[in-house]
Amino acid sequence: MKVVVDMNKCQDHGQCVFAAPDVFSMDDGGHLLYVSDPDDALRDEAEEAADVCPLQAIRIED
Amino acid sequence: MSSGRVVVVGASMAGLRAAEQLRAAGWTGAVTVVGDEPHMPYNRPPLSKEVLAGKASFDSLALTPKASTADVEWRLGTRAVAARLDERAVDLDDGSTLAYDGLVIATGMRPRRLRCSGPRTGRHTVRTLADARGLRDELTRPGVRVVVVGAGFIGCEVAATAVGLGVTEVTVVDPLPLPMVGPLGELLARALLRRHEERGVRFALGTGVAGFEGDDRVTGVVLGDGTVLPADVVVESVGSVANVEWLDGNGVDLGDGVLTDEWLRVGGRPEVVAVGDVARFPNARYDGVPRRVEHWSIPTDTAKHAAKSLAAHLAGRERESAPFAPLPTFWSDQHDFRLQSFGAPVLGIDDVRVLDGDPDGEVVVGYHIGERLVGVVALGGHTAAAKAARYRTDLLKQPTPAVPSTSTSTSTSAVPSALTVQGASK
Ligand SMILES: Cc1cc2nc3c(=O)[nH]c(=O)nc-3n(C[C@H](O)[C@H](O)[C@H](O)COP(=O)(O)OP(=O)(O)OC[C@H]3O[C@@H](n4cnc5c(N)ncnc54)[C@H](O)[C@@H]3O)c2cc1C
């Protein structure tokens, strides 16, 4: 599984961090950090994060 | 079960999520989504912000359907005109009828219109892409004077975007004394008013609209106190009305949206569910009183829960035992600041306390019933929103419910029946 985030769209809402804390986090400046090739066991979490992104900036690929 | 068909009426966010979540819940039968707009589902929040500002193309608004929905049939540009729930059939405006095994109601809301005398041309609402494009064309005319009726979320966003576009005369009218005071309470509403005024938005508060002036098109807005505000463009953002007329005649409670039970089922029928803005559902996290919630997070939350109960029913399985208990979340971007909300602030509006910061700068405010925190709203930039997020965990941990569930009626309830994104206004 690959996680792709369009950083031009991201506005740091942080909803993905609530949905998938093992994939997404915020640095001290409030900016997004993420794992681009997480374990497949995290797929549901990652999909949930993509769903709740207000900017729809997250894509999950195979 | 893999035969049969689920019909989803409404092809926006809630309709799309319902189709996706039906697949995720194991439904492999046919899915047909009927939508009266010509577009595939798109994201609405940018309509009052980036789209109006000319910073977003349609491509960037489109919601990308998941691969699991590749075989879903989309009947776009098609309106459902009637439902016959006893016969499990939906009639469409092209004269055809769709029979279903399962029905998902996802028809959302439309803007409420002012019923005042005067011309119609020059008066806008913002709900669809077509609306936003039409309004943008007018806001970009040089020297345009804009009156926004309704100081709710959408009214405040449109006013902020208009100022950002360089419109020098933007006035927001509302019969209430402060913007967004209904959903946010006085403390934040005051802070908001000041921020808008500092950035050039004018307000005419405490008075409603009595009528419009002009022959063919609007030239002015007449207020209740007789004042006339000159206007070339009027934006009506005075709340919304549920799109439920097509469900008339089925004995379903359509009093304010579609009443559902705690599994989002409609009219006691396990094969009919409602999702998104149109659903009036009890939230087990709070008092069990059914309410509509016009927040962006709700289409996804309701679709997940409803799809599970519908797919289980269609497969002859037991539905999940947990009742629906979402944590609503809302945001609103205005000028250079953001409002970020978690929980149900409106339920605790009589007891608002500053949790962090101060209302003149970055602030996080808590809403309480007794000692129970029921909602948190941040106003400011990044840091305020990040701080509010810390309270989200507290909100999730709060014991439920604060008030025992009374009945499915909202009429005796002291709290509003909709956690609406727009301030009520006339
Ligand atoms: C301008 C704007 C800005 C917003 N900004 C924010 C924000 O910043 N933050 C936030 O949290 N929320 C925001 N929201 C709220 C959020 O967008 C909504 O909660 C969400 O769009 C609801 O989705 P829905 O699918 O339930 O309803 P809708 O998006 O209303 O979709 C219903 C669809 O059904 C169609 N339909 C209706 N009747 C029929 C029929 N009889 N037959 C066929 N189709 C039919 C409609 O045309 C529409 O396409 C905003 C909303 C708007 C309008």
Is the per-residue pLDDT at B95 higher than 50?
yes
Q: What residues are paired with B82 via a beta bridge?
A: B91
* pLDDT computed for residue B181 by the predictor: 97
For B270-310, write each residue's pLDDT tens digit: 999 999 999 999 999 998 899 999 999 999 999 999 999 99
Q: What percent of chain B has pLDDT over 70?
A: 93
For B297, the closest of A11, A26, A52 (CB atoms) is A52
For A4-51, write each residue's pLDDT tens digit: 999 999 998 999 999 999 999 988 777 899 999 999 999 999 999 999
B109 Cα to the center of ligand 1, angstroms: 6
For B373-417, write each residue's pLDDT tens digit: 999 999 998 788 888 888 999 999 887 665 544 444 333 333 444
Are the beta carbons of B42 and B62 closer than 8 angstroms?
yes
Considering only CB atoms, which chain A residues are within 8 Å of B64? 56, 59
Chain A contacts to B (CB-CB under 8 A): 9, 11-15, 17-18, 26, 29-30, 47, 51-52, 54-56, 59
Tokens of B40: 């595939």
Q: What residues are paired with B102 via a beta bridge?
A: B6
Q: What residues are paired with A34 via a beta bridge?
A: A24
Tokens of B210: 């009595």
**CA–CA distance from B9 to each of B38, B41, B246, B300, B344 (Å)?**
14, 12, 10, 16, 28
Is the per-residue pLDDT at B368 higher than 70?
yes
Which amino acid is residue A6, in one-letter code?
A: D
B303 touches chain A (CB under 8 A): no
Is the per-residue pLDDT at B423 higher than 80?
no
For the Cβ of B239 lying below 6 angstroms from any atom of ligand 1, the answer is no
* pLDDT computed for residue B419 by the predictor: 45
Would you give the end-to-end CA distance of chain B in angstroms?
Answer: 49
Interface contact flag, B60 A9, Cβ < 8 Å: yes
Is the per-residue pLDDT at B1 higher than 80?
no
For B172-202, write each residue's pLDDT tens digit: 999 999 999 999 999 999 999 999 999 999 9
For B10-40, write each residue's pLDDT tens digit: 999 999 999 999 999 999 999 999 999 999 9
Considering only CB atoms, which chain A residues are within 8 Å of B60? 9
CA distance B309 to B30: 17
CA distance B181 to B158: 17
B417 touches chain A (CB under 8 A): no
Would you give the end-to-end CA distance of chain A in angstroms?
Answer: 5
Q: Which is higher by pLDDT, A28 or B234?
A: B234
Tokens of B373: 């925190």
Closest C-alpha among B276, B202, B286, B196 to residue B244? B276
Are the beta carbons of B343 and B328 closer than 8 angstroms?
yes
- Global confidence as pTM: 0.94
Q: Does ipTM surpass 0.90 in this model?
A: yes
Interface contact flag, A26 B297, Cβ < 8 Å: no
Interface contact flag, A13 B385, Cβ < 8 Å: yes
Confidence of residue B59 (pLDDT cuts 50, 70, 90): confident
* pLDDT computed for residue B401 by the predictor: 60
Considering only CB atoms, which chain B residues are within 8 Å of A12? 382, 385
Instruction: Sort B318 into a burial class: Cβ within 10 Å, 0-12 / 13-18 / 19+.
Output: exposed
| Mean pLDDT on B113-120 | 92
Closest C-alpha among B159, B172, B307, B150 to residue B240? B150
* pLDDT computed for residue B117 by the predictor: 87
